[in-house]
Structure formats: structure tokens, C-alpha cells
Amino acid sequence: MLASEGESKFEQQVQAWSDRLAMLRLRLNVKKTEYLTIDPKEPSSIKINGTEITRTTTFKYLGSATALRQIGFETILA
């Protein structure tokens, strides 16, 4: 998981991560990569190696999901 306060910084972090993986002969699966923002109304576009990644409203991790609602985030346990 990566986090950043700004879209451009976040895009730089993701690209640096992808580049490091490539140095180890690994590849980031862009089709399965998603990102979550705090403000769903804010226009946003994040690209990795020129490919736009999907924006989501739910983040799943170890059996729980964090979902973006109109008033903020809520955690849903599975």
C-alpha cells in the first residue's frame, strides 16, 4: 500500500515502485492495481508506464474492506 497527500507525488511513488520491480525482473499488474482517493468528486487520473489505473471506492485488505462514503471512510469486517 502506498499513500500520499498529492496526486502527482502519488503517481511518482507508483512509477518508482514499478521501476524497482522491473529492476528485479518483476512486473506490477496494472490491470489489478487500483487506487482510492479521499474526495470522490475530485477529478483524478493516475498512470503507470502510460497506462491509467482504476479508481475505486473500496479498499480490501486481510478480510476487511474500507469503503468511501459521502461523509468519510468506514471499515467493514468480513
Give tens-digit pLDDT for 57-76. 777 766 666 665 555 544 44
Using only C-alpha atoms, the chain has a radius of gyration, in whole angstroms, of 14
Residue 46's CB is within 10 A of a number of other CB atoms, namely 19
Give tens-digit pLDDT for 24-59. 999 989 888 888 877 767 777 888 888 898 888 777
Q: Give the phi and the psi of residue 54 in degrees, each rounded to 5.
A: -75, 135
**Cell numbers given for 22:** 522491473
Going by their DSSP bridges, the two strands 34-36 and 54-56 should be labelled as: parallel
To the question of pTM greater than 0.85 for the whole model, the response is no
Do residues 37 and 55 lie in contact, with contact meaning Cβ atoms separated by under 8 Å? yes
- Flag whether pLDDT at 9 surpasses 60: yes
Q: For residue 24, what pLDDT is reported?
A: 96
